[in-house]
Amino acid sequence: MATRSFIARYNPDTNDYTAIYCHWDGYPTGVGLALRDNYSYDEAVQTLLGFGDISALRDTLEETKQEAFKVTRGEDTPALTFDFQSDMVAHYRKCWCEYGYIWSPTQFAEDGSGEWSCLSLNVQTVNLYELENANV
């Protein structure tokens, strides 16, 4: 059974969000830790979102690209843009997502740094930086 999630980037220049759907392993100990450990700079996040919706998030961009719906299903499902976080959450709740991950780039950082936040769409906040292998 899938644990659906969405992966998003807050765009500080346009004050909106770009997001994709991820079908498998959306728990914080799955997608959450993979994002925190392997997608911790802005260029990687933007490249990931450029794949569009994905079946699964893997440890590298090359592996994840093979999980894009374009590859696995032959479907072109590009990232969506939302003006408000609440609209994004409402959209992905309709897709049965249980978790959402939002990348916020550090403003004025030249190194591409930022921070992930995790939303439980069942109204629970999870701190990915305090999480190791807990069952959430």
- Tokens 């998003």 belong to which residue? 8
Report pLDDT for 108: 73
**CA distances from residue 111 to 7, 21, 60, 63, 95 in whole angstroms, order as listed:** 21, 27, 19, 24, 34
For the segment 5-30, the average pLDDT, to the nearest whole number, is 96
**46 belongs to a structural domain:** yes
**28 belongs to a structural domain:** yes
Rounded to an integer, what distance in angstroms lies between the CA atom of residue 80 and that of residue 110?
26
Residue type, 41: Y
Whole-structure pTM value: 0.88
* Cβ–Cβ under 8 Å, residues 8 and 17: yes
Q: Report the sign of the C-alpha dihedral through residues 1, 95, 6, 54, in that order.
A: positive
Report pLDDT for 126: 66
**66 belongs to a structural domain:** yes
Structural domain harbouring 9: 5-130
pLDDT at 4 over 80: yes
How many domains are there within the chain?
1
- C-alpha of 45 from chain center: 8
**135 belongs to a structural domain:** no
**96 belongs to a structural domain:** yes
| Percent above pLDDT 90 for the chain | 79
**23 belongs to a structural domain:** yes
**80 belongs to a structural domain:** yes
Report pLDDT for 123: 57
Full strand arrangement of the beta sheet holding 114-120: 80-82, 16-22, 5-11, 99-105, 114-120, 124-126
Q: Convert the pLDDT of each residue in 122-136 to its tens digit.
A: 755 667 777 665 555
**42 belongs to a structural domain:** yes
Q: Convert the pLDDT of each residue in 58-67 to its tens digit.
A: 999 999 999 9
